Structure 1
């Protein structure tokens, strides 16, 4: 049962990015050396979870900047590099002061009052803490804004208890000298949940963060994710955001020595030949797909699983204590969140999550609501589950036939295909109780319908009279169709500006429609004949020798090769219109050899020579010293870069190490600029085509400036946020689109 299924928070990413504006306006002094060195690596709580952290940005938040040494980062017993935060909270990090501590008829209460602004806007300056002793084994703790009603999930309806139980298995501890609280088991004096002066407590309008120390590394739950039963506490992230996808995972691997360290790809392929490939994996610059990988824990690699979030959200975990007792914790909050068992792979964006780290500790981050927590004291795991379902509701007992073998997948072409799958199952000797259909059975994928053409005869499918096969049990089989709680409405166009300017093309054949459409917008260019051949490319060639080696392997496999590509590996410092004269020394001669391939002995070169295509992203480095990088200097001279409201080039971040600027291709001089840059590169080596990537602009740095200039992040893209009367910025809305 999904506790908070199908919860939608509109504009989540935009709100998160907006929430980090104005970080440098705090006036917070950097911490002292003593405050930073007092925090051991295992007690570091990440103060800059979004990408783009620097020492300056870290210090602006009043946090410590201390990259761990290589020896500290490598844990030989795990075979991985722990992701110890570079930027972390110091001891004595200011946020709130606790006051008005008192006993109540229900339990205890206190007030938190903020004494220094956080780096998130719209701090809630007064927080009420109410602890209600609901039963001997259940403690209810709420942290909320006493002045304003905030969102709280209406379902499931949890029991309303007056509280005031005096015979409890727990103690609830607060001290006016410390921020936060502790939950302690009375019988063993073991601290089960300790937030006192742990990490950086933030309670703002659209961002809440709380960290706590846990009693052990044996933690279970935090669904829904495909993960090991005991959760991995080595810097793990769990996103609490309902998502319509099946269970999957991917693995992120890094070279211990460096991202571009030498890597024996052939050995890796031999080692991983037994695994199934599914989703994205990057190993030292190599991109492949993978579904299950136990990890290559050798001298060169660090591999960590990343579990994707699934259909439902259960922000509940069960933890075993050192005394072998068990307890459970529920955060009753339906806003987007994540928990990290902190051994996380660094996030790309400041996104709600739950983090787990090997302290052991947990960090909750959510984008709204309140902190409404239930502590269930067990003491056995079975007791915890009983107490949890007593709180949220017991699951329904499934019918007996529901425990049998069920057959289902998306993609049955028609009813005959469904029947064929059943027959194959029976032929394999598998007893079958229930057949399912995904949305394939629907008419036009609409709820409460069925396709009377492809699924003609569906009503008679399981009557028992018209469908007799030997593997139907005596009491009949059962049938379950998909019925999503999403009903088709009228089709609609939605846009943020401009006019509705529409063309209707009448065909009447599909070929006629395509002809009329390209007649309207322009015919596509006819590719050169060699462009239709076999092209070889990937990201991660270590150098020119590695590129040539890949070509040789292709030839040895008997694959005819027409064109070789290079991703940004060939560039100097990942800058457009350059090439690395060290790693790719000899690139101009290499291209010439490709063009004269008929003179080489390799039989896989075509008679008319091979061709070469380099990547040329439309993102230019904006951080090079004046006079050292002509692509930037010339762009500034012509004024062709996208500008912010001050008239200076807008700085973002993609592949360039520090910052990126982008040509505004609506500028009248942009074509002149682009042709000049391409010519300058052609003068270096005579490439045959340009791989111009359409990508979205990832703003990893200067986020506060991004917000001030009226931009916001959607997915991985960047769009200007302008009203129809806003004249401070050029109207780029009509030109920019997110991937």
Structure 2
């Protein structure tokens, strides 16, 4: 479809969006022709909810009927473990389309208004949203909402400063998918985002089941999935790459220093808010939600008896306004996966914007290529970094490290890299050396480097903030304004004194005392960090660094 034809179709029918990339919840949407009447769509959604097939828990698990209904949620106790209190469908909870304009080629802008009947599950639901849908040709499009870039008009919200490799927006020439903003594409209708693969008719995204929730500190959208062959959403330990829907599983998405343990589903070092689906006809797609706030993803699915398998903590108190920050950040009940023949997925975060990228393949390898092209290829490591590394936390002195290298050689085991850890440093202070126990380490490192063995150690971005002028690293950091600080009108700890640290945000990490945290989004911090690394390397000739937390 040419540019003028595409524009005409979007205005008169359902805007058609051609692209393989769907961007998570910052809604940049591509419009498509969907001819199912609105009434029939929502009757189907209501019927599924009533039968417990697609219920998304609303408020806490132990909420009473009066608490549930007074918030605008639906109440209907049912056997089988499904929640009694659950979200209404999109014709009751969410937004309606107030206006839609087509500006530059491939860019649609929607004005959305909150439905008066929306469930008040969190305070201050946003009354107005601006949704921007950007097309990038035939295979990718982006839905941005910043109150869901979708944006709230005039409101600034944090967006990850990630340099995406985006092409120039352009209307597609051949339609690979259809995108509809409402069931019959009429201004004033209830907003739903429905993405359909054109050649097969497969619905790959449908937000109608649970509507759209958008508040200052809570964002949620739910969708049905065309298949239970779902991958991604890391970083967690899994028995297989393919997600299991056999029982409820919680998948938080929030990077932290947590080693993997067998059977654990807790969040680990990385955050990858992207999921991949292999459809029944072997076509594939992926959806990325570009958001760096704490997230959770709830998988839900329907068993052969038509009942959802819910754990007693499927949502915990995450929807409760008093606990939305507490439980969402600190509970393991941020995301659950529950498999049955008709699966679904709820996405939620505690801030930022909804910025959704849809990547439509259609082949599985094409989806991976499109994702790599979008976010950029990984850095090529040096050849030696792919070799045999040895290291651990807990070396007591240089002699113990020397023994490890010697013992490895005596037994004919190849070694390319020897690691130190934070314990080589004075009281766990970054950019220092423990001269009591590791005074010989610099000379030892020079020796093994001459023999072909590289040396690495760690750095922790938590900098001890309570040593005063004795710790020059921190002194230079304060002078350079490199730390994360308390923002806005916040009452500081310690009766407002903040332990003498001004407005620095303090916490406890590896160092013995309270620490300040480097804000690497600031150019000044990047310069300071690089300078400290160079100073440290003058004292210890390491070949690489591992950044830990």
Q: Identify the TM-score tier after normalising by the shorter chain.
A: 0.5 to 0.7
Q: Structure 1: 5+ residue runs without aligned partners?
A: 1-31, 74-83, 249-291, 293-304, 469-475, 502-739
Structure 2 residue aligned with 1:247, among 245, 260, 275?
260
SS across alignment from 1:225: coil
Cα deviation for residue 242 of structure 1 reads: 2.1
Deviations 1:59-108 (A, max 9, x none): 22233333442xx35xxxxxxxxxx3232124443332223244443243
Report the RMSD for the aligned CA atoms in angstroms. 3.0
Cα deviation for residue 324 of structure 1 reads: 0.6
The answer to whether structure 1 residue 163 and structure 2 residue 146 are counterparts is: no
CA distance in structure 2 between the aligned counterparts of 1:465 and 1:247, rounded to whole angstroms? 32
Structure 2 residue aligned with 1:225, among 209, 213, 236?
236
Q: What is the match of residue 328 of structure 1? A: 286
Q: What is the match of residue 66 of structure 2? A: 56
Distance 1:429 1:409, change over 3 A: same
1:194-593, aligned counterparts within 5 Å? 194-195=206-207, 197-227=208-238, 228-233=240-245, 234-248=247-261, 292=262, 306-342=264-300, 345=311, 346=313, 347-350=315-318, 351-352=327-328, 353-358=334-339, 359-426=342-409, 430-464=413-447, 476-490=452-466, 495-497=493-495
Cα deviation for residue 134 of structure 1 reads: 1.3
Relative CO higher for 1 or 2, CA cutoff 8 Å, sep ≥ 6? 2
Q: What is the match of residue 153 of structure 1? A: 159
Q: What is the match of residue 100 of structure 1? A: 99
CA distance in structure 2 between the aligned counterparts of 1:189 and 1:154, rounded to whole angstroms? 34
Q: What is the match of residue 174 of structure 1? A: 181
SS across alignment from 1:183: strand
Q: What is the match of residue 554 of structure 1? A: none
1:590-605, aligned counterparts within 5 Å? none
Cα deviation for residue 496 of structure 1 reads: 4.4
Given that 1:239 and 1:354 are in contact with CA atoms closer than 8 Å, whether structure 2 keeps it comes out as yes
Given that 2:165 and 2:376 are in contact with CA atoms closer than 8 Å, whether structure 1 keeps it comes out as no
1:640-651, aligned counterparts within 5 Å? none
Structure with bigger gyration radius:
1
Distance 1:223 1:500, change over 3 A: closer
Distance 1:188 1:107, change over 3 A: farther
Deviations 1:414-463 (A, max 9, x none): 22222333445556654222111220111121111221221122122243
CA distance in structure 2 between the aligned counterparts of 1:438 and 1:153, rounded to whole angstroms? 33
Cα deviation for residue 131 of structure 1 reads: 1.1
Given that 1:415 and 1:454 are in contact with CA atoms closer than 8 Å, whether structure 2 keeps it comes out as yes
CA distance in structure 2 between the aligned counterparts of 1:191 and 1:500, rounded to whole angstroms? 53
Q: What is the match of residue 128 of structure 1? A: 130
CA distance in structure 2 between the aligned counterparts of 1:42 and 1:428, rounded to whole angstroms? 60
Q: Structure 2: 5+ residue runs without aligned partners?
A: 1-42, 301-308, 319-326, 329-333, 469-491, 500-549
Cα deviation for residue 184 of structure 1 reads: 1.9
Cα deviation for residue 159 of structure 1 reads: 3.8
Distance 1:124 1:405, change over 3 A: same
CA distance in structure 1 between the aligned counterparts of 2:465 and 2:113, rounded to whole angstroms? 48
Structure 1 residue aligned with 2:196, among 180, 184, 198?
184
Deviations 1:578-613 (A, max 9, x none): xxxxxxxxxxxxxxxxxxxxxxxxxxxxxxxxxxxx
- Normalized against structure 2, the TM-score is what? 0.65
Deviates further, 182-191 or 145-154: 145-154
